[in-house]
Amino acid sequence: MKTVFEINNKYLEKLVDYYRHYSVKPNAPHIKYLFKTDDFTITVFNSNKVLFQGENATEEFEKWVKVTGVQPSIPKPKNSSLYFNEHYKKCVIGTDEVGTGDFFGPVVVCAALVCPKNYPFLSELNIQDSKNISDTIIREIAPKLIDKIPHHILVLNNEKFNDLTKQGYNLNKIKAYLHNYAIKKMVSKNINYDEIIIDKFCSNENYFKYLKDQETLENISLIEKAESIHQSVAVAAIIARYKFLNEMDELSNKIDVTLPKGASGAVDAIGKLIYLKHGEDIFNTIAKTNYKNMDKIKN
């Protein structure tokens, strides 16, 4: 992920001081400062533009958005014809999930219905792949989508997730159940739709094997990178991300620790602090205890 904004000298001094322990020698004459960790790289150019790169770049960028009051613009899609394909003229129920790559927090699945009549509204918000949108923008546009677009949200909390894994459910089976339930809830609203697209997480064959004891619908396609195939999936991903962020905020407030996203070494470090403060039992309510992070935290 790459994010850029311009900073004034007042906040630049604060930024330099904040990251001083990660400072390295700039590798080009047009670079004023350079800060590096395993999770992110921050480059400050002579023009006072600041570039955030790396796995945790978005989180670091969000910190300085809050500090400086910068209002980042919603990024424009690189290809304006991105969604012009065989699905374009159809009403589509799209589904996506958030949280499966995060040690802390729940799994959230959203199903959303998008029809051609919604395209002007979505165009105003520049709806696209949520991975290209910062959390700040997610928090700004998701309430507008929730207000206008038919959808259904499911939140699988950590206690239930951990209970299912102890029963032998693997991650893909859990996701299949959640997607299927969200889709059925959407269809039960008596909406008109032409097809259903799921952001692919397993093969079509395995998806229906996981759900062999469940009622399923036909005309379902599991498509790779579906957020860039139809805006229904992009909308579902943005709403799911928004709900996930709110759930993370609530969990953080509950234990008075800001829980990091992802599953990196930084997550393990925070996890060890929580372990020392609250013990092991707290993780059943805030984390996915079958993830490898749990073993690292305990050891």
What is the C-alpha to C-alpha distance for residues 211 and 213, in angstroms, rounded to an integer?
5
User: Which pair of tokens denotes residue 146?
Assistant: 């929730």
pLDDT tens across 43-86, in order?
999 888 888 888 777 778 887 877 777 655 444 444 445 688 89
- Kindly state whether residues 57 and 108 are assigned to the same domain: no
18-32, 130-144, 189-203, range with greatest mean pLDDT: 189-203
d(CA 292, CA 275): 15
Mean pLDDT on 170-177: 97
DSSP state string for 24-66: E--SSTTEEEEEE-SS-EEEEETTSEEEEESTTHHHHHHHHHH
**Same-domain check for residues 244 and 260:** no
Q: Are residues 238 and 125 in the same domain?
A: yes
Tell me the C-alpha distance between 162 and 283, whole Å.
Answer: 10
Residue 183 has pLDDT above 80, yes or no: yes
Residue numbers of the domain that contains 30: 2-68
pLDDT value of position 72: 52
* 262 plus 175 within the same structural domain: no
In this structure, are residues 142 and 60 in contact, taking their beta carbons and an 8 Å threshold?
Answer: no
Task: Judge whether residue 244 has pLDDT over 80.
Answer: yes
CA angle 284, 97, 116 (to 5 degrees): 155
β-sheet with 92-98: strand ranges across: 151-156, 107-114, 92-98, 195-199, 220-223
Name which of 116-130, 251-265, 277-291 the model is least confident about.
116-130
Residue 118 lies in a domain: yes
Work out the average pLDDT over 128-151.
90
The reply to whether 82 falls in a domain is no
Q: Say if 85 falls within a structural domain.
A: no
Question: In terms of domains, do 6 and 117 share one?
Answer: no
101 and 215 assigned to the same domain: yes
Q: What is the mean pLDDT of the chain?
A: 90
Residue 206 has pLDDT above 90, yes or no: yes
Query: Which CATH number goes with the domain that contains 242?
Result: 3.30.420.10
Residue 159 forms part of a structural domain: yes
Residue ranges in 69-134 assigned as alpha helix (H): 119-124
Output the pLDDT for position 73.
47
**59 and 113 share one domain:** no
149 and 29 in a single domain? The answer is: no
Mean pLDDT of 87-115: 96
Residues 102 and 194 in one domain: yes
Number of domains in the chain: 3
Q: Yes or no: say if 116 and 43 are a contact pair by the CB < 8 Å rule.
A: no
